[in-house]
């Protein structure tokens, strides 16, 4: 076949839930078709590099499995039997069902359930406008970053860090509990530049030798959930060897004698026993960090997906507060810049439409909530309807058996607005076709960096796909809601939000494709003090004050949290019947479940497998490639063993998220994961799970 002729190349931005939020150059073939997608070379963070899954985006936009028309269920729930209906028929029926449920059970019986399948604010967050206008149940958005956010802000007072491009100026880059080669490839661009240009050392801390650690100078493979112990031992050594910057600490932190004596017995020997590392490894790591002020801590989400994850994040973050690395360019820490955008989304989210706040349902507890469990429901009102956008809970949510059982309830009315026939869409009463990012207008914030980017509509949507924004407006009309912001076009709402936020030159934004929001270096390094009223980094977190910075909720008594960084033993305990720890680390070819439907990604990832140490495997009589089962009280999952020795014994890694249907009986890995909310503010412990393993 001849290569298609490229008509033009247009600027866009990757909409996916990835901290990189790459600026893209998209080949436009015609009004309906794209060619290759490349990373923008003139964007300093993207720097011409994107991941391979988005480079072959044509495969996803033009996927034959896209949902093209509204579909109404005709067979039993979950049968996958649907018939095509018109948009009007679907919308009229959905609205009348919602109104009926509202009348019978109250508006809170309807749960608009959304997440970050697109990171465009108009399409991602606009559902809140409908929710607020109608008084539907609110959603507690815990699934991704609630744990890591808590641990970080407990220290600094704000979700902001040193500019990640500064990594190129570092002498040591510590990549802690994140696998950027898979999850945010641009981190590697800047870290590797530091190595090439300055001979910087790259340290990776993870629970297996992942793709990022393969590129590291020092790889630290610890037991899952033991990062707090490692961080404490490092701080112990820093104090012991006079590598701590006492002057910095007295000026910029709440360092105290009590904290110092707390660290007295957190010796490397103590940490070695907990982490499974050698004392020599811990000493080497501490020395590197202590002797190089320009040490950049890139702290990920992964190591916080543990029940003690917020404490672990805060402990790791405490290290640069002890060395004073924050003062130096190329030094300090970064987790996310999501606390820096200063956007006013009152109208976009319909914040002023709220009369009385409705119940707040934790998205991670969707399984228990659908099954009517009182703790998850928060009130007497059952969930009778779901309106789902930008997420695939049948695969991504914890306690999958409960999620599936809940979705199969005959008295639950489920509407899924989707691009692809996901396994959640298959469980719906209505499946509505959604546009992809190239088919609508939106703006995107870059949590992993410093810019707000514009993503304009570049091609026509296929079939009858409509944007999220369009759907809110059509439903609002039929549900008796009026607000000017439903009537605006998507780009008008982008413009309105910008102007409301004090950014007046919208034309420049459209023309240029971005607004630079980088903080002055002094601010990003907290050189004028941290974001707490006393300007001090808190080694001893104040969880109430942390809560108040964002208005989140405690899921536990904060008194139970340790006073200082520590190894907090609250993780799911291994026992004789559950001797293994499971972590469900990200796959390179999939982004959560996005792309697990494209053939290129499926080919890359193959079938689901569990990495297991050969010593463990041989004890269990398992050889490479054998079919095995992994299980616990929540269920069991079938996959293949892959022997892998760069892991501690007793640990199993399953890189996911494969489709549920690629496992036997359609039972996916999240069957094994608990939905109990992680202290202090909730979130799911996706990498903290005690299991048994057996051959079949």
Positions touching ligand SF4 (CB under 6 A) are 14, 16, 18, 20-22, 50-51, 54, 184-185, 591
Is 308 among the residues that bind ligand MGD (CB under 6 A)? Answer: no
Q: Map residues 26-55 to x or -, x wherever contact with ligand MGD holds by CB under 6 A.
A: ------------------------------
Q: Is 543 in the site for ligand MGD (CB under 6 A)?
A: no
Which residues, numbered 162-191, are part of the site for ligand MGD (CB under 6 A)?
Answer: 177-179, 182-184
Q: For the residues of 377-439, what is the DSSP string, one character each?
A: H-SSPPP-EEEEES--HHHHSSSHHHHHHHHT-TT-EEEEEESB--TTGGG-SEEEEB--GGG
Q: Contact between 583 and ligand MGD (CB under 6 A)?
A: yes
Judged by CB under 6 A, the chain residues 117 through 146 that form the site for ligand MGD are 117-118, 123, 143-144
Burial group, residue 269, by CB count within 10 angstroms (0-12, 13-18, 19+): exposed
Cα–Cα distance measured from residue 658 to residue 524, given in angstroms and rounded to the nearest whole number: 38
β-sheet bridge partners, residue 695 = 628
For residue 656, is the peptide bond before it cis, meaning its omega torsion is within 30 degrees of 0? no
Tell me the number of residues near Mo ion by CB under 5 A: 1
Q: Is 369 in the site for ligand MGD (CB under 6 A)?
A: no
Instruction: Closer to ligand SF4 by CB, 184 or 389: give it.
Output: 184
Query: What is the spatial distance between Cα 160 and Cα 526, in angstroms, rounded to a whole number?
Result: 9
DSSP letter at 581? E
Select 383 or 416, whichever has its Cβ closest to ligand MGD: 416
**Distance (Å, whole) CA 14 – CA 280:** 42
Alpha carbon of 46 to those of 11, 24, 203, 215, 445: distances in Å?
A: 13, 8, 22, 20, 14
Instruction: Choose the one of ligand SF4, Mo ion, ligand MGD, none that binds residue 225, judging by a C-beta under 5 to 8 angstroms depending on kind.
Output: ligand MGD
Stretch that binds ligand MGD, among 42-50, 518-526, 579-587, 626-634 (CB under 6 A): 579-587
Q: Tell me how far apart the terminal alpha carbons of the chain are, to the nearest angstrom.
A: 46
State which residue, 20 or 419, has the beta carbon closest to ligand SF4.
20
User: Which is nearer to ligand MGD, 226 or 323 (by Cβ)?
Assistant: 226
Smallest separation, CB 125 to Mo ion (Å): 16
The contact pattern for ligand MGD, residues 453-492, with x = CB under 6 A and - = no contact, is ---------------x------------------------
Q: In 3D, which of 409, 413, 433, 429 has the Cα closest to residue 421?
A: 433
Minimum separation from the CB atom of position 141 to ligand MGD (A): 9
Residue closer to Mo ion, measured from CB, 144 or 493: 144
Counts of helices then strands in the chain (DSSP H, E): 26, 25
Residue number, 145 or 281, with CB nearest to Mo ion: 145
Q: How far apart are CA 153 and CA 573, in angstroms?
A: 28
CB of 426 to ligand SF4, least distance (A): 25
Contact set for Mo ion, span 132-151 (CB under 5 A): 144
Rounded Cα distance, 530 and 542, in Å: 14
Residues 193-232 that bind ligand MGD (CB under 6 A): 205-208, 210, 224-225, 227
Element (H, E) at 149: helix 146-156
Residues 6+ apart with CB under 8 A from 163: 334, 449, 450, 518, 519, 521, 524
Binding site for ligand MGD (CB under 6 A): 17-18, 115-118, 123, 143-144, 177-179, 182-184, 205-208, 210, 224-225, 227, 300-303, 305-306, 389-392, 396, 417-420, 422, 434, 468, 583-588, 590-594, 656-657, 669-670, 673, 686-687
> Which residues are near Mo ion by CB under 5 A?
144
């Amino acid at each position: 076949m001849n290569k298609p002729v490229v008509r033009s190349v247009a600027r866009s931005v990757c909409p996916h839930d990835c901290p990189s939020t790459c600026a893209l150059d998209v080949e436009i073939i015609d009004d309906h078709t794209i060619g290759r997608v490349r990373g923008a070379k003139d964007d300093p963070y993207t720097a011409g590099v994107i991941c391979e899954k988005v480079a072959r985006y044509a495969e996803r936009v033009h996927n034959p499995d896209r949902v093209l028309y509204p579909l109404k269920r005709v067979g039993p729930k979950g049968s996958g039997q649907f018939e095509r209906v018109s948009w009007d028929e679907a919308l009229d029926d959905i609205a009348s069902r919602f109104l009926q449920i509202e009348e019978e059970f109250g508006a809170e019986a309807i749960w608009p359930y959304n997440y970050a399948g697109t990171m465009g604010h108009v399409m991602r967050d606009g559902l809140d406008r409908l929710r607020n206008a109608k008084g539907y149940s609110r959603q507690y958005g815990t699934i991704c970053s609630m744990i890591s956010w808590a641990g970080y802000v407990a220290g600094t007072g704000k979700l902001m860090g040193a500019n990640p491009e500064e990594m190129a100026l570092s002498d040591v880059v510590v990549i802690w509990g994140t696998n950027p080669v898979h999850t945010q490839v641009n981190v590697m661009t800047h870290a590797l530049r530091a190595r090439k240009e300055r001979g910087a050392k790259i340290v990776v801390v993870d629970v297996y030798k992942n793709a990022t650690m393969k590129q590291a100078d020092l790889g630290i493979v610890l037991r899952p959930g033991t990062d707090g112990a490692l961080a404490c031992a490092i701080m112990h050594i820093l104090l012991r060897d006079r590598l701590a910057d006492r002057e910095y600490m007295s000026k910029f932190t709440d360092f105290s004698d009590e904290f110092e004596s707390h660290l007295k017995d957190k010796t490397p020997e103590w940490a070695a026993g907990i982490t499974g590392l050698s004392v020599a490894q811990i000493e080497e790591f501490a020395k590197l960090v202590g002797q190089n002020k320009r040490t950049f801590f890139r702290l990920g989400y992964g190591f916080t997906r543990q029940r003690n994850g917020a404490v672990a994040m805060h402990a790791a973050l405490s290290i640069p507060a002890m060395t004073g690395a924050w003062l130096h360019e190329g030094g300090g820490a970064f987790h996310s810049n999501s606390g820096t955008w200063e956007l006013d989304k009152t109208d976009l989210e319909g914040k002023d439409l709220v009369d009385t706040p409705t119940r707040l349902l934790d998205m991670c507890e969707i399984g228990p909530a659908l099954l009517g469990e009182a703790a998850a429901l928060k009130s007497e009102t059952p969930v009778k309807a779901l309106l789902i956008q930008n997420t695939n809970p049948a695969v991504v949510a914890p306690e999958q058996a409960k999620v599936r059982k809940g979705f199969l309830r005959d008295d639950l009315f489920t509407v899924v607005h989707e691009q692809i026939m996901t396994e959640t869409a298959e469980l719906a009463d209505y499946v509505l076709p959604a546009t992809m990012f190239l088919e609508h207008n939106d703006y995107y914030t870059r949590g992993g960096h410093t810019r707000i980017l514009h993503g304009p509509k570049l091609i026509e949507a296929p079939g009858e796909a409509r944007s999220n924004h369009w759907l809110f407006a059509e439903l609002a009309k039929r549900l008796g809601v009026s607000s000017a912001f439903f009537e605006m076009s998507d780009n008008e709402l982008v413009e309105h939000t910008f102007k409301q936020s004090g950014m007046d030159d919208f034309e420049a934004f459209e023309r240029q494709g971005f607004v630079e929001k980088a903080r002055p270096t002094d601010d990003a390094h907290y050189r004028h003090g941290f974001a707490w009223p006393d300007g001090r980094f808190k080694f001893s977190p104040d969880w109430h004050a942390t809560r108040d910075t964002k208005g989140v909720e405690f899921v536990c008594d904060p008194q139970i949290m340790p006073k200082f960084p520590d190894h907090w033993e609250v993780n799911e305990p291994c026992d004789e019947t559950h001797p293994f720890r499971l972590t469900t680390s990200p796959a390179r070819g999939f982004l959560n479940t996005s792309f697990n439907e494209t053939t290129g990604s499926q080919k890359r990832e193959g079938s689901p497998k569990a990495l297991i140490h050969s010593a463990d495997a041989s004890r269990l009589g398992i050889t490479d490639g054998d079919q095995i089962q992994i299980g616990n009280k929540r269920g069991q999952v079938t996959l293949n063993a892959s022997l892998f020795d760069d892991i501690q014994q007793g640990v199993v890694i399953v890189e996911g998220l494969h489709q549920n249907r690629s496992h036997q009986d359609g039972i996916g890995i999240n069957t094994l994961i608990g939905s109990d909310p992680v202290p202090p503010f909730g979130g799911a412990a996706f990498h903290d799970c005690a299991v048994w393993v057996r051959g079949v």
